[in-house]
Amino acid sequence: MIREKISAVLQGTTANKGIAFGKISFLKRATDTDAKVHVDNTDSEIERFEKARLHAIAQLSALYEASLEKLGEQNAVVFQIHQMMLDDPDYVSSIKKLIVKEEANAEYAVTKVARRFEKQFLEMDNDYMRGRAADVIDISRRVKEILMMHAGKLKKHGISFDNSGPIILATDDLVPSETVQLDSKKVTGIITSLGSTRSHTAIFARTMGIPTIVCVGDSLTPDLEGKYAILDGNSGYIYIEPDEGTITRYSEMKKTDDAQHSHLEEFRGKETVTRSGRSIRLYANSGSLADIDLIKASDAEGIGLFRSEYIYMQAHDYPTEDEQFAIYKKVLQGMGKKKAIIRTLDIGADKTAEYFMLKPEENPAMGVRAIRLCLTNKALFKTQLRALYRASVFGNLSIMVPMITSVEEVIECKRIIEDIKVELKAQELEFADNVEFGIMVETPAAALISDELAPLVDFFSIGTNDLTQFTLAADRQNADLGTYLNPYHHAVVRLIETTIKNGHAAGIWVGICGELASDEKFLGKLIQLGIDEMSVVPSSVLTLRAKIASLG
């Protein structure tokens, strides 16, 4: 049928890029009912719940094993987390209490408690904890489904949807265990009215290569069932009943996309080498623990910049040594043998947390921030360094400090680190003896005295975001200064060149972790200047590896 015009266009947020064609099919869940039924014997209802809960834990253990190959250890681990959540005393006792208090059936109690926990998680400040809301719904649906099966009300497990031909799956939100059940040959795309790009669902969809758009909102209405659509995961648009012109345009785009994609996949698992055989370490930048899955899926060879300030920004008070230790340990364990360069606290300027009660300043970007704050408040710095060193035995850690402008600052940092090692030894706390220590070169001062700084450190990492702003006297927060904030400016490029030359002269490696590292247009110049390591946005890893193979 020739369609004259598109009947509707929906818009959401891209969780995984790519183009998909298919009929919209809404996900149907057997557990969608939550009717309350009166029970006379609450003890036997609690027993029913207990049986279903233990059954769910056994299922999750099997699902973990089965997912290892499909998704990898890093992603499958969510099913171990689910097992732990099903053992959470607060969750379990809330359900049992509700059964008794309302003399109600277990299905009803599970649904009600799940909604309460979901709400609590969603209200949390921490992105990672907000992501747990989907998990509590997931485990509760599983228990409910088992309850219904035990009662003979349900024959088959799980979810269903129209299975004829390629479909674009539509739903309010998908939980991880539903996502892994999808067959990516049938489900060409996913649209959710809710969801978040950081949820495990989004991460799984990316790993499975299914183009996904989340947060479409109320416009994802049930009357769209069965309608033909095009999902454009590059722009976040979904075209319902598109006209022939749109179909042809997107078919061409998809052909190009597919060809590019399969070309890039050839670079997965490979080393990053230039045409002449020079190896470059291609790492990725990370903002939080939640990014680790994404980084692993991106095939980055390590983390080149872990912005530890996000841990402080998400907390309500100074994170303790133990709290930080737990996070760094997970990051390092998550990365296995791969290097993780964790940057010490870079708070100040645009990155603040209320409890720091930073003094208002005229020019906070050039104020008491980052390493300046840490050297003023040594207890703060020491807490972080102790946590980092204690975690160092769990992986391949490097530490770097931000905003260095002088030799004295570097000497002071190293002295504090030595003190911490002595302290830890005295307390018989283990730490690795091969933790590299580096600095960010992100001020013109550091670049200009890089010959004096290089002999003091194991590596340099060039932060071109700040280096550009300070070299060109152009505030990176001010959108009106767009053309002034030019990282290609010869002044910035000369500072990069000086830093690399001085680093190499002293025998240390030099990396780059500012946004310029992900810029394909600048890649040739970086290779020519002799960069050793690049830390980029995870989605650019394979693209850059492919490009590097054709350069130098």
CB 364 to ligand PEP: min, Å? 13
Per-residue DSSP letters for 487-539? TTSHHHHHHHHHHHHHHHHTT-EEEE-SGGGG-HHHHHHHHHHT--EEEE-GG
Per-residue DSSP letters for 349-367? TTB--GGG-PPP-SSGGGS
CB 531 to ligand PEP: min, Å? 14
Q: Which is nearer to ligand PEP, 22 or 463 (CB)?
A: 463
CB 440 to Mg ion: min, Å? 6
Residues that bind Mg ion (CB under 5 A): 442, 463, 466
Q: Give every CB contact of residue 429 below 8 A, 6+ residues apart in sequence.
A: 390
Catalytic residue among 215, 374, 413, 513: 513
Residue with tokens 């990725």: 284
Concerning whether 513 is annotated as a catalytic residue, the answer is yes
Q: Which is nearer to Mg ion, 61 or 406 (CB)?
A: 406
| Whole-number Å distance between alpha carbons of 114 and 103 | 18
Distances (CA, A) of 14 to 35, 155, 285: 35, 36, 19
Concerning whether 504 is annotated as a catalytic residue, the answer is no
What separation, in Å, do the N-terminal and C-terminal C-alpha atoms of the chain show?
Answer: 52
CB 464 to ligand PEP: min, Å? 5
User: Residue 514 binds what, of Mg ion, ligand PEP, none (CB under 5 to 8 Å, by partner type)?
Assistant: ligand PEP
Amino acid present at 64: Y
Q: Which is nearer to ligand PEP, 304 or 395 (CB)?
A: 304
Helix axes of 42-71 and 200-208: crossing angle, nearest 10 degrees? 40
Q: What single-letter DSSP state applies at residue 219?
A: G
Q: Which is nearer to ligand PEP, 25 or 540 (CB)?
A: 540
| Whole-number Å distance between alpha carbons of 153 and 452 | 75
CB 345 to Mg ion: min, Å? 12
Q: Give every CB contact of residue 26 below 8 A, 6+ residues apart in sequence.
A: 161, 169, 170, 171, 222, 224, 225
User: Residue 173 binds what, of Mg ion, ligand PEP, none (CB under 5 to 8 Å, by partner type)?
Assistant: none
| Whole-number Å distance between alpha carbons of 270 and 280 | 12
CB 466 to Mg ion: min, Å? 4
User: Residue 464 binds what, of Mg ion, ligand PEP, none (CB under 5 to 8 Å, by partner type)?
Assistant: ligand PEP
Residues that bind ligand PEP (CB under 6 A): 305, 307, 346, 442, 463-466, 513-514
Q: Which is nearer to Mg ion, 442 or 533 (CB)?
A: 442
Catalytic residue among 200, 215, 374, 413: 200
User: Residue 30 binds what, of Mg ion, ligand PEP, none (CB under 5 to 8 Å, by partner type)?
Assistant: none
User: Residue 224 binds what, of Mg ion, ligand PEP, none (CB under 5 to 8 Å, by partner type)?
Assistant: none
Burial (0-12, 13-18, 19+ Cβ within 10 Å), 113: buried
Q: Which is nearer to Mg ion, 228 or 356 (CB)?
A: 356
Residues annotated as catalytic are: 200, 513
